Structure 1
Amino acid sequence: MALTQGPRDKDHQVTIVLLGVTGAGKSTFASIASRSPVTIGHGIEPCTQDPLAVRFKLPDSGQSIVLIDTPGFDDSVRTDLEILADIAKWLASQGFVRKHPLDGLILLHPATHAVVRRNETQRTRLLEKLLGDDAYSRVIIATTMWENLSAEEFMASVGGHMGRFGEQGVWANFRKKGATFMRHDNTEESAHKIIQHIVSKSKDLKAKTLLHGGLADNARVGDEVRQQLEEAFDFTHEQLKLHKKERPPKEDRKSKDSEKQRRYMEWEAEKRELEEMLKAQERRLKKLDSMILRMINVFARLFW
């Protein structure tokens, strides 16, 4: 279902969500674009723990912009599913479902991450389930951090990123359905160019509030979430089985040989870690139909 609205002008705020892995440059992008100080992280731990709305106007047009800076994926504490659920919960609490539907999404991806990892494949698959077909024209995948690469690394990364667009590439469906791919060079001009692309698409569309398409789509998102949780559970379960097979002799635990004792203690610590991980994944599966799935369905409504 779509609610028809008139053309948007500069008095209407254009709201854009920034997504990406920890360290992709989301907070830096928001800071550069808005000329405002936004706390920026420089390590592997996420700097942004909760979403943050950064408001400003484009200098040339006066267009009001709201950038939603979000926690990064590949977090050491929360899973990507939990991060998406937390983002959705925050968006709903701030009125971005009923009052200020989203105009676009910028997925920031560091050029240093040319290799496609399992987590990225899974969250890209989920995003494809969440996005309605009309949303892709308002999605931009912006590559960042090219300036951090040597000439040799630059060429290798270009080749790796080209593969992402191929028939079997992780971004193939985004390309086919109309998403835009741009390079961000860490300047204000570059950030504003990316934002302006979404502004122009927003003005082109008359039907702005694209609501979720019904039970069939709910089931599609739910099936994907369940599959990812089950895959994670099965993977950890298999890792635990393999780890148990590698157990050092039990007597090593109290051995007078400090090296044997150390190896046994390390094995035991890793076993406990895998067991805790398995319990946490089991809990997520049990609450799938409550908090996580409800929140991800809220997220889906923003883009349908």
Structure 2
Amino acid sequence: MTGPKLFACVSVFANCAAGSQLKVGHELESSTIEIQAVSMKLGANDVVLIDTPGFDDTSRSQAEILQLIAEFLRRTYSEDKLLTGIIYLHDISSNRIAQSDLGSYRLFRKLCGDAAMTNVVIATTMWDDVDQQLGANRLQELQDDFFKDAYDRGVPIMRHDNTRQSAHRILSRLLGKDGTRCDIQYEMVDEGKSVENTAAGKELLHQFDEFEDTHGKQLRAAQDSLEPIPSRNGLRDGSGGTEEGADVRELRIALEQVRQELRRVQDERDKLRQTLGQDLTAHIKRLMLCICPI
């Protein structure tokens, strides 16, 4: 493979490494989803850092993010451009692993597959926001539990202190590796699968199933609780009707929130089955010309 060495990361890391000013998650318009790239030199090597949105980006749906990343990876693989490295960030200051963290990592693992993990570095961030001993304890816990499968495969879990020197040290760890093929690239190009039928797509659908099962139970429980409450807790208004108490109103609000979340997940399912829009497809084509000029 000729040309620059390609690294996938998020914009925060890319900006730190290259001194660039790529837009960061919340700075993008809510209706905008895109992949950005910046070129830099690392020693004698030409490097391109590709900002791939994280699955925990709350401003965009997971289905849209997976569709975009999958299409970009499909095109790079089709043009014989492989990733030299993938940087996965984890906030060391978090005092617990949230369900969203677990879901994001599961998606990441399915997207990469086992073979591509040899080209991954897990970089821990936000060390300034945590006591150093506590951070060291959490790092050990990550190696022993949350990231154990990756760590046992030789994936380094490194400290990133938000300096350019630190970012370059992490990139250098992967610089000498051969380019790697992610599972989702093989599935889409060599096996001709749609995104929803890849391992990553199935994982996301499985997470939707889990979400709907949990919130569906909450919805049914709330509906069952709602029926008898007005007669027990309601107050008579001036017309002889029943005025809802505060607990009933709160329950109705909670009920509507659950319904909205279930509608959101259904919308995500629909998006996963759709093909990428023309605007985003054109955006990826332009990006390919920038990072891999003919």
Instruction: Pick the aligned partner of 1:124 from 105, 114, 134.
Output: 105
| CA 86–215 in structure 1, closer or farther in 2 if over 3 Å, else same | closer
CA distance in 1, matches of 2:109, 2:259: 32
> Could you list the per-position Cα deviations for residues 102-133 of structure 1 after superposition, in whole angstroms to 9, with x for gaps in the alignment?
22210011111241122222232232222233
Q: Is the 8 A contact 1:57 1:65 kept in 2?
A: yes
Tell me the alpha carbon deviations over residues 71-95 of structure 1, each in whole angstroms, 9 at most, x when there is no partner: 3433445443442223333555xx4
Structure 1 CA distance for aligned equivalents of residues 262 and 140 of structure 2:
36
The two structures, once aligned, show a CA RMSD in angstroms of 3.6
Q: Helix, strand or coil: the match of 2:8? A: strand
**SS, match of residue 121 in structure 1:** helix
Q: Which amino acid aligns with 2:78?
A: R
Task: Provide closer, same or farther for how the CA distance between residues 88 and 222 of structure 1 changes in structure 2, counting only shifts above 3 A.
Answer: closer
Q: 1:132 to 1:74 in 2, by over 3 A?
A: closer
Name the structure 2 match of 1:242. 221
For 1:179-258, list aligned pairs within 5 A: 179-202=155-178, 212=186, 220-247=199-226, 248-249=229-230, 252=234
**How many angstroms does 1:264 deviate by?**
3.7
1:80 counterpart = 2:65: no
Tell me if the contact between 1:114 and 1:161 (Cα under 8 Å) persists in the aligned partners.
Answer: no
1:15 equivalent to 2:15? Answer no
Q: Secondary structure at the match of 1:182?
A: strand
Q: Say if 1:260 and 1:75 are closer, same or farther in 2 by CA, change over 3 A.
A: farther
Contact 1:115–1:160 under 8 Å retained in 2: no
**For residue 209 of structure 2, what is the amino acid of its counterpart?**
E
- Indicate whether 1:29 and 2:29 are aligned: no
- The 5-angstrom pairing of residues 151-166 of structure 1 reads 151=131, 154-166=132-144
Aligned to 2:87: 106
Q: Percent identity?
A: 29
1:173 to partner: Cα distance: 1.3
Query: Deviation at 1:196?
Result: 1.5
Distance change >3 Å, CA 231–CA 67, structure 1 → 2: same
Q: 1:37 aligns to what SS in structure 2?
A: coil
Q: Give the unaligned 5+ runs of structure 1.
A: 19-25, 293-304
Change (3 A) 1:215 1:40: closer
Question: Residues 238 and 124 of structure 1: is their aligned pair in 2 closer, same or farther, counting only changes over 3 Å?
Answer: same
Number of aligned residue pairs: 261
- Maintained 8 Å contact 2:6/2:82: yes
Equivalents in 1 of 2:235, 2:51: separation in Å?
A: 48
Secondary structure, in 3 states, of the residue corresponding to 1:36?
Answer: coil
CA distance in 2, matches of 1:216, 1:176: 31
How far did residue 277 of structure 1 move? 1.9
Unpaired segments ≥5 residues, structure 2:
277-294
Structure 1 segments (4+ residues) deviating >6 Å: 207-210
Q: Normalising by the residue count of structure 2, what TM-score does the alignment of the two structures yield?
A: 0.73
User: Does the CA-based 8 Å contact 1:53-1:67 persist in structure 2?
Assistant: yes
Q: TM-score normalized by structure 1?
A: 0.71
The answer to whether structure 1 residue 273 and structure 2 residue 252 are counterparts is: no
Partners of 2:192 and 2:33 lie apart in 1 by: 33
Q: Deviations over 1:231-265 (max 9, x none)?
A: 11111211212332443427859968xx9655444
Hey, what does 2:287 align to over in structure 1? none
1:96 aligns with 2:72: no
